[in-house]
Amino acid sequence: VRVYDRYLATLALLFTATTVLLAAHSQHQLDLYFSLYLIEYLAATLIFAYLHPQARRLLSFLGYFLFAGFMVIVAMKVLQILGTFS
């Protein structure tokens, strides 16, 4: 459980720091925040490599889900760019 607590605390710290830093730089794009959260999530999950296998499986599912969200953002951006050119 100690390792779970550390993992959650690490994620909370990373997400909060990112939000504060980006807000301080007047960033208002939600997709930028989301992309950085995804990268931080994947990095933290990679660093905590020795979590219980069942936890790792469930966290991998969440990783796929977040990545799907990221792909939606990318697709929307591409469509937006294509719309600008046409």
Partner 1 sequence: MYKPTIAKHERVEASMIESRKRYILLGLGLILGGGLFAAAAGLILEYMPLAALGISGVILGVVSLALGRSLPRISPEASLMLLEAGSDNIMALVEELGLRARAIYLPTSFTQGQPRALIPLHGNPVQPVIQKPVEQRLIVQFGPGPDDYGVLVATPGSPTLSLIETPETGSSGALEDALSDLLVGRLDMVNAVRVERSGEKITIEVAHPALPLRSHPAYTVLGSPIASIVATVAAESLGQPASVTSESSYGRWQVIALELQPEVKL
Closer CB to partner 1, 28 or 85, in the complex? 28
Q: Which is nearer to partner 1, 20 or 79 (CB)?
A: 20
- The nearest distance, CB 46 to partner 1, in angstroms, is 14
Binding-site ranges for partner 1 (CB under 8 A): 1-4, 6-8, 11-12, 15-16, 18-19, 22-23, 27-30, 33-34, 37, 41, 49-55, 57-59, 61-62, 66
For residues 41 and 58, give the distance between their C-alpha atoms in angstroms, rounded to a whole number.
13
Closest contact distance (angstroms) between CB of 77 and partner 1 is: 16
Structure tokens at 11: 């994620």
DSSP state of 1: -
Long-range (24+ apart) CB contacts under 8 A made by 29-35 are: 31/73, 31/76, 31/77, 34/69, 34/70, 34/73, 35/70, 35/73
Cβ distance to partner 1 smaller for residue 80 or 86 = 80
